[in-house]
Amino acid sequence: MVKPIDISADEARVLDWIETRADGMVATLQDWVRINSGSRNADGLETMRAELERVFAETGGTVRAVELPASQAVAPDGSVVEQGYTPSFHLSVRPDADVKIVLTGHHDTVFPKADSFQDWRMLDADTMNGPGAADMKGGILVMLHGLLALERSPHAQSVGYDVLISPDEEIGSQGSAGAIHALGAKAHVGMTYEPALADGSLAGGRKGSGNWALKVSGKSAHAGREHHVGRNAIIAAAEFATRLDALNGQRDGVTFNLSRIDGGGPTNVVPANAVARFNVRVKDADDEAWVLGQIAALEAVTNQRDGITASLHGGFTRPAKPMTPANAQMFEWTRTAGAALGLDIRWNDTGGVCEGNNLWAAGCPNVDTLGVRGANIHSHDEIAILSSLPERAKLSAVMLMKFASGEFKARDARALARS
């Protein structure tokens, strides 16, 4: 049973103000969708960050660019290379307030600069198809207008917040993970703006995720004259892959996905190098420990092959985010805020991951699908439901105003996370 809350006359006026911005939100989303900000398109990402600086200036907060550290990756040829990132966008408002909230999102998309999916089109009066429309340029607009509404509310001075919008979420947040963790560690609660499902339901508990590359080195040789001299790295990688796949089903809720094997060349050469790439999903920290032991054992078996050396690179990048009492409290507040607006807020656990996992790893209870209602993300069929721009902005606004008024006690949620 949802415990009802009252919307004061002042708060109602703020919510009405959001409706006056609805057409402008759609126009801005159309403009942003036309900016290609694929995770490796530095120029497009910087164009989007400039847009964020422009629109979030209306909050009156302090804006800065957060430089991100480079990360290491294994190239297809087996070499270990550094990957750099463009800066994250950071906004700080009232950092010394008693109640602290962190809001996160990302301005990168999965669509590279050369992709054919570069513009929006209307499927009907309320449905926009476009790259990043739901994931998550629409979500950024929801966040922005929730915050602008808060700034127009009676108790705004009681709450402070940090906004971090990053350029690398779609490729694992390896550059921005430290900044997300640092802000999550000092906040009482978190709000992240991945899209909700088209029916409005949210992601509840989330599995954890890790990515690895097994680098395998053998010895090249002529496939006809000296085949016996060669040591085939692809065969060793393939054997590792089949052993890895055999781990599926051995532990409830843990999955292993071999996604790619790089290597090889001319058909008359024994391949000396290969890289096997895989993802693992887990329910909790005990699963993580089990996985680490299993893949280390498989690495050791691969190294027992004559003339073969193998090394694992990678790790768990997003720890699991279970539905703990602290996270459950955040969802109940979301449900309560939704009920005040006539929305029936529901949620379901998922194997997907996002920045909400990173916030929870820092001890910050959060809801991470507060963005627009949408569907078919990561595909050319991605859609955003435009009426959900003001709808979900109002949902965030009610939550933020109730955190500010003290009706939703953010400190209590953080205390639950520590218990």
Same domain, 166 and 181: yes
Same domain, 40 and 148: yes
Same domain, 215 and 124: no
Query: Is residue 2 domain-resident?
Result: no
Same domain, 295 and 383: no
Query: Is residue 41 domain-resident?
Result: yes
Q: In this prediction, what percent of the chain has a pLDDT beyond 70?
A: 100
Q: For residue 140, count other CB atoms closer than 10 A to its CB.
A: 28
**Domain closes at, from 270, 290, 318:** 318
How many residues does this entry show for the chain?
419
User: What is the model's pLDDT at position 3?
Assistant: 77
**Domain closes at, from 266, 287, 318:** 318
Q: Over 70: is that where the pLDDT of 1 sits? A: no
Rg (CA), the chain: 23
The 10s digit of each residue's pLDDT in 223-270 is 999 999 999 999 999 999 999 999 999 999 999 999 999 999 999 999
The pLDDT of 191-205, averaged and rounded, is: 98
Q: Which are the contacts of 28, defined by CB distance < 8 A and separation ≥ 6?
A: 55, 141
- Please report which helix (H) or strand (E) contains residue 180, including its range: helix 177-186
The 10s digit of each residue's pLDDT in 24-72 is 999 999 999 999 999 999 999 999 999 999 999 999 999 999 999 999 9
User: What is the model's pLDDT at position 294?
Assistant: 99
Same domain, 201 and 264: no
Give the structural domain span for 308: 208-318
CA angle 147/153/157 to nearest 5° reads: 80
> What does each C-alpha distance from 192 to 152, 245, 288, 306, 360 come to in angstroms?
21, 33, 24, 49, 11
Same domain, 397 and 266: no
Query: Is residue 198 domain-resident?
Result: yes
The 10s digit of each residue's pLDDT in 142-179 is 999 999 999 999 999 999 999 999 999 999 999 999 99
What 8-state DSSP symbol labels residue 205?
A: E
- The CB-based long-range contact list for 248-256 (8 Å cut-off, 24+ gap) reads 251/287, 251/290, 252/283, 253/207, 253/281, 253/282, 253/283, 253/287, 254/280, 254/281, 254/282, 254/283, 254/287, 254/290, 254/291, 255/280, 255/281, 255/351, 256/280
Task: Determine if the pTM surpasses 0.75.
Answer: yes
Average pLDDT, the chain: 98
Band (419; pLDDT cuts 50, 70, 90): confident
Query: CATH number for the domain including 161?
Result: 3.40.630.10
Query: Is residue 336 domain-resident?
Result: yes
Same domain, 222 and 367: no
Query: Is residue 1 domain-resident?
Result: no
The pLDDT of 376-390, averaged and rounded, is: 99
Same domain, 185 and 94: yes
> What does each C-alpha distance from 58 to 61, 144, 190, 233, 315 come to in angstroms?
8, 9, 21, 56, 39
**Domain closes at, from 318, 349, 364:** 318
Query: Is residue 164 domain-resident?
Result: yes
Same domain, 283 and 146: no
Query: Is residue 352 domain-resident?
Result: yes
Same domain, 223 and 370: no
Domain count, the chain: 2
The pLDDT of 15-20, averaged and rounded, is: 98
Query: Is residue 36 domain-resident?
Result: yes
Amino acid, single-letter form, for residue 279 = N
The alpha carbon torsion through 375, 377, 382, 385 (nearest 10 deg) reads 40
Same domain, 213 and 360: no
- Give the CA count within 13 Å in the CB-facing half-sphere of 315: 8
Which phi and psi (to 5°) does residue 19 adopt?
-60, -35
User: What is the model's pLDDT at position 2?
Assistant: 60
The 10s digit of each residue's pLDDT in 86-128 is 999 999 999 999 999 999 999 999 999 999 999 999 999 999 9
Q: Over 70: is that where the pLDDT of 405 sits? A: yes
CA 346, 352, 355, 357 torsion-angle sign: positive
Of 201, 160, 203, nearest to 323 (Cα)? 203
Query: CATH number for the domain including 256?
Result: 3.30.70.360
Same domain, 14 and 154: yes
